[in-house]
Structure 1
Amino acid sequence: PIILRATEQERSDIASMNHLQIWSAAAQKNIPLRQVVSGFETAFEDEIIYRRDRKRAITVFADPDKGLATALLARVRPQVEALDLPAGYELEWGGEYEDSGNAKAGLTASLPMFFLLMVLITIMLFNSLKQPLIIWLTVPLAVIGVVVGLLVFDQPFGFMALLGMLSLSGMLIKNAIVLIDEINLQRDEKPLIQAITDSGASRLRPVGMAASTTALGMIPLLFDAFFVAMAITIIAGLMFATLLTMIFVPVLYATFYKQEAA
């Protein structure tokens, strides 16, 4: 489109528009604009019209001076949602809260399929149901370390912490597989209890060293504002769960197979 704009002198005062010259076909000459209009009325007009989901929106931005965005949201949300909005108005939360929710929803939709695949792999690996059950029962142990770590460092369980939890589950499954596989090898030559004891002693160092190197590798991420929650989740969860796995797995193995040993 072709847009015409008057000079700065002509648009400095609205009254000057009365003297704006326009072409009159009847008079065949330029005449002042005031001769063909009854007057002017000023009205406010938005420079930018914000829309959300194709609806006009008023966006309010806020950045916490200190503390976590989740803590700020929890503090102000009841007060904001208690406001009596006029008819036709609705309230939605966006920003980091919305992005985190969308990311979690997309991730959660695909989780069942991948966990089912991991369960099937462990079942095929040991050709048994008891041993995969022992392995998967060790995964919830990580929650203890994760909760403690996030509370100590005052971090929320957000999307990055969820990613760390998923990564952590794979690490714990690996540790349990290593220990159970060693117990199976020892059982061919030794009684059940002795095989469990010797396997735990022989696998303690490699499993512990693997967990320690992983935790040390995550330390630099503790100083990154974006990855700190994931790093805390992996470090705290892995260290707690690794220690408990070396106790929990032998106990469960002895419980599940004590009748066979007898």
Structure 2
Amino acid sequence: METVKSVSDISSDDSPGRNQLNLKLNYESINRIGMDPQSVTRSIRLFVDGEIVTFMQSEGEKIEVRVKAQSNDLAGIDELLSQSITTPSGEQVALRELVHIETGRSRESIRHYNFRRTITLEADIDREKINEVQINNLIKDEWGKIKIDHPNVSLDFSGALDDIQESLDAMLLLFLFGISLIYLLIGTQFKSYFQPLMILVTVPLAFIGVVIGLIITQNPLSLYTMYGIVALTGISVNSAIVLIDAANTRRKAGMNSVHSIFFAARRRVVPILITSFTTIAGLLSLALGLGGNSLLWGPVASAIMWGLAVSTLMTLFVIPLLYKTFSR
């Protein structure tokens, strides 16, 4: 990450702590003198911290009763390693002969996630040059090159990318729920299984408008643009509902499917255009940032405006063709 110029303020919680002494049992020496490794471990504990053998209650407080080896204050590591341990044969053996000694720096804190030790790495990025998805993909690519050398290490991506993924999952669920609810409402009103599907064709038409708008405005497909797309789902179907409802009314009056849909298109084109364009006019200033650019609501308004404009115009051509083709 340090080689990427768009990344700055890299930090982690893997900070060094105080000096520490690691003692590992020398099983060869312990077995040679006939001692139990557990007794050596217990002796070391008695030399340093002692061992809790019981508890007492005093004035409502729990007090630990700790047994510790009787020795002079240990001024340093050499004094600890010089402490004698009695073998089963009665001989005295220095602790240094029964352990392997390692010195080093401890960690300031040891954190765990799902019972595994973790190190959290954080950094800031220049969003004008790179975004969260790109930098995480870059990390994944570099990690794939060295992953085989670290079999016990795995990466877990969180932070902004995790929030984005959760938002996308939630939006997909809301989008499917909205589509299902629209289908049920229209199907109940029109008493038809197929006509709601014809009306929902306007949803992908609106998506086409959003793509055209992103290309023209050179805006990225951001999370807030996705919010606008979800909101556009319920707006884009209005023109098709008005058109098909007018056509069904004329068919009940005795017209055939061709005459009824063209009559409906001719009679409803002005109300449809006025309704859509007044909505677009209301969003225009926010989408263009005439009163100041808004990173939150600007992409939402732009997505709704472009999607509604294209879906409205295409609805006047696509829906009559579908109605004529599939209505008998």
Matched, 1:57 2:119: yes
Q: Could you list the per-position Cα deviations for residues 118-140 of structure 1 after superposition, in whole angstroms to 9, with x for gaps in the alignment?
A: 21211110112232221122221
- Per the alignment, residue 247 of structure 1 pairs with 317
Change (3 A) 1:239 1:126: same
- Per the alignment, residue 41 of structure 2 pairs with none
Return the structure number with greater relative CO, CA threshold 8 A, min gap 6. Answer: 1
The SS at the match of 2:120 is coil
Q: Which has the higher strand share?
A: 2
Q: 2-side partners of 1:155 and 1:224: how far apart?
A: 13
C-alpha contact (below 8 Å) 1:156/1:229 kept by paired residues = no
Report which stretch shifted further, 105-114 or 209-218: 105-114
- Per the alignment, residue 75 of structure 2 pairs with 37
Residue 68 of structure 1: how far off its partner (Å): 5.1
Q: 1-side partners of 2:267 and 2:152: how far apart?
A: 69
Change (3 A) 1:70 1:149: farther
- Per the alignment, residue 80 of structure 1 pairs with 142
- Per the alignment, residue 28 of structure 1 pairs with none
What's the Cα RMSD here? 3.1
Q: Find the partner of 2:270 among 190, 205, 213.
A: 205
Q: 2-side partners of 1:69 and 1:99: how far apart?
A: 14
Matched, 1:133 2:171: no
Q: 1-side partners of 2:217 and 2:134: how far apart?
A: 17
C-alpha contact (below 8 Å) 1:150/1:229 kept by paired residues = no
- Per the alignment, residue 256 of structure 1 pairs with 326
Q: Find the partner of 2:258 among 183, 193, 197.
A: 193
- Per the alignment, residue 181 of structure 1 pairs with 245
Residue 110 of structure 1: how far off its partner (Å): 5.0
- Per the alignment, residue 218 of structure 1 pairs with 283
Can you give the 5+ residue segments of structure 2 that lack an aligned partner in the other structure? 1-72, 79-102
Aligned 1:229-244 pairs, distance under 5 A: 229-244=299-314
Give the structure-2-normalised TM-score.
0.58
Rg comparison, structure with higher value = 2
Residue 252 of structure 1: how far off its partner (Å): 0.9
C-alpha contact (below 8 Å) 1:100/1:158 kept by paired residues = no
Q: Could you list the per-position Cα deviations for residues 85-110 of structure 1 after superposition, in whole angstroms to 9, with x for gaps in the alignment?
A: 53432223223221110122233345
Residue 111 of structure 1: how far off its partner (Å): 4.4
C-alpha contact (below 8 Å) 1:64/1:72 kept by paired residues = no
C-alpha contact (below 8 Å) 2:178/2:234 kept by paired residues = no
Change (3 A) 1:111 1:71: closer
The SS at the match of 1:84 is helix
Q: 2-side partners of 1:164 and 1:200: how far apart?
A: 28
Q: Find the partner of 1:117 among 178, 181, 190.
A: 181
Residue 216 of structure 1: how far off its partner (Å): 2.7
